[in-house]
Structure 1
Amino acid sequence: MARQKVAFIGLGNMGGGMALNLLAAGYDVQAFDLVAELMEPAVAQGAVAHACAEDAVEGADFVVSMLPSGKIVESLYIHDSKLLEHISESTLVIDCSTVAAGNSRALAAAAAERGIRAIDAPVSGGVAAAAAGTLAFMCGGSEEAVQAARPVLEAMGANVFRAGDSGAGQIAKICNNMLLAVHMIGTAEALQLGVNSGLDPKVLSDIMLKSSGCNWSLEKYNPYPGVMEGSAASRDYQGGFMVRLMQKDLGLAMTA
């Protein structure tokens, strides 16, 4: 049986790890990123780098995109690059970007006009989960399309949810990230208050982990330097979820 082909567009902090997991799962990956160097780790593991997105999607069974904004998503697929014109009807488009629900609905509608299935599948878990293949996918689209995408998504993640029709995945994502922002900011402020008052941040973290203040940020992504090995705070804030992206997500929540 021939290996299925996945065109992967956008191999940055998140997309790079996701593409590597697709390769490890046995998919042929046809990669494109505007920054050629970002494709090198995937190419080293067997991916084929392309000079443009149009070449990358040729003959692909799936197109997976991980892009920084809704404007770029619509520009790529619909307006400027018109990538949908180069994608066959048998191909399933899986956009994992975090964008406004309206952007996802516009993509799905434009794809449907050409007989192409498209779903929104934003992710949660951060860079570490992208590398480990343990992301959570929040999908919007028909039951049939989400089911068809499931094997690809399960190669990159541990949990796949269908939130509803087109755009529903984006709504679920911004609800999740609004809550994440609340408890991350609260956790950072609480830890700093404790340190300013003479407490050891590790001891305070251990206390709160067993108390009513326990939350995901404290348990998985402690924001105080030196408390949790591997967290962004303990790596001089390198390679984590950038503040400007959280600002973008909170902006999406405010305008939803």
Structure 2
Amino acid sequence: MKIAFIGLGNMGGGMAANLVKAGHDVQAFDLSEEALARAGENGCATFSTVPEAVAGVDAVVTMLPNGGIVKSVYTSDVFSRAPAGALFLDCSTIDVDTAREVEKLAREAGYEMVDAPVSGGIAAANGGTLTFMVGGTEAAFAKAQTVLEPMAKKVIHAGAIGAGQVAKMCNNMLLAIHMIGTCEALKLAEKAGLDPQMFYEISSNATGYNWSLNDYTPAAGVGVTSPADNDYAGGFASALMLKDLRLAMQGAESAGATVPMGEHAMKIYEAFCEAGGGGKDFGAIFTTL
């Protein structure tokens, strides 16, 4: 297939490279010259504008910072230039309402579209082991699988359009809550006189088991190797976690849901980012306790 890939940041660059490895022709665009150069080194054809990148393609994949940019890119540059019959896959993490609005506009313009946010982080993007949560019709999902599978360990049809974004906001709200709780438990164990590694050995094999503890331990020198062992560099930035928590709070308000733990987690990450920690991995909350 010929696939346009718009947005080659920390996640998108690896994703586009995996599409090339799977034998697809990838036409790439990003505002960053450095990102475009890397994409070219990875086998993508690179373009200086979105309209050029989407010309003649079978599918368009977007990986962009927020809903406003997603809507602008599609309405300004993609709808008017992509061929009839092209499939659109937005892999950005954005608010549910915008995801549904852009799909409606795409449908009115004669295109099929899915929202397909991802979980797994930079390592999974580079390794082709992301989990995709896909919202859209059965027909659109069936077509999207061909595009998504080279980048994925799992592609899940979450439901109608917007369901992918609902799944992503709920998943990341839960992840933030788990991470804060894991950090608190590790620090409490240490302060109460229990070796943190011993606590890890016990809780990782007991009912305290969770991904933040077992697979992404936020204390340096404890458990598995993680960004904590690199001064919290790399990984999933706290500023991005805060963005996702704000999306979850927006979604909760729209749905009339009560999420007190999620709201408290957002406040903790807000304070951490305001204190200058936004570029640190989200496990760096451990350093504040």
**TM-score of Structure 1 vs Structure 2, range by shorter chain:** over 0.9
Q: Give 1:229 deviation, angstroms.
A: 5.4
1:55 to 52, 57, 63: 52
Quick check: which one's helix share is greater?
A: 2
Q: Distance in 2 between matches of 1:230 and 1:65?
A: 31
Please tell me whether residue 193 in structure 1 is matched to residue 196 in structure 2: no
Indicate the percent of aligned positions where both proteins have the same amino acid. Answer: 52
TM-score by length of 2: 0.83
User: Which string of whole-angstrom CA distances, capped at 9 and with x for unpartnered residues, describes residues 81-120 of structure 1?
Assistant: 3421111222111000011111111111111111111110
Match of 1:10 in 2: 7
Please tell me whether residue 27 in structure 1 is matched to residue 36 in structure 2: no
Matched residue of 2:217: which SS?
coil
Please tell me whether residue 174 in structure 1 is matched to residue 173 in structure 2: no
User: Which string of whole-angstrom CA distances, capped at 9 and with x for unpartnered residues, describes residues 115-167 of structure 1?
Assistant: 11111000111111111111110011100001101021110001111111111
Q: Are the aligned partners of 1:13 and 1:239 in contact in 2 as well (CA < 8 Å)? A: no
Unmatched 5+ stretches in structure 2: 252-289
Please tell me whether residue 42 in structure 1 is matched to residue 17 in structure 2: no
Q: Distance in 2 between matches of 1:39 and 1:206?
A: 44
CA-based RMSD: 1.4
User: Which string of whole-angstrom CA distances, capped at 9 and with x for unpartnered residues, describes residues 164-214 of structure 1?
Assistant: 111111011111111111101111111122223343333321211101100
Q: Give 1:235 deviation, angstroms.
A: 2.2
TM-score by length of 1: 0.93
Q: Are the aligned partners of 2:20 and 2:44 in contact in 1 as well (CA < 8 Å)? A: yes
Match of 2:118 in 1: 123
2:142 to 147, 150, 153: 147
Match of 2:283 in 1: none
Q: Are the aligned partners of 2:134 and 2:164 in contact in 1 as well (CA < 8 Å)? A: yes
Please tell me whether residue 110 in structure 1 is matched to residue 105 in structure 2: yes
Q: Distance in 2 between matches of 1:83 and 1:29?
A: 16
Q: Distance in 2 between matches of 1:154 and 1:206?
A: 35
Matched residue of 2:11: which SS?
helix
For 2:71, give the aligned amino acid: E
Q: Are the aligned partners of 2:217 and 2:223 in contact in 1 as well (CA < 8 Å)? A: yes
Match of 2:246 in 1: 251
Moved over 6 A (4+): none
1:76 to 68, 73, 78: 73
Cα 1:40/1:193, change in 2 over 3 Å: farther
Give the total of aligned pairs. 251
Which has the larger displacement, 84-93 or 37-46?
Answer: 37-46
Which has the larger displacement, 240-249 or 208-217?
Answer: 240-249
Match of 1:66 in 2: 63
Unmatched 5+ stretches in structure 1: none
Please tell me whether residue 209 in structure 1 is matched to residue 209 in structure 2: no
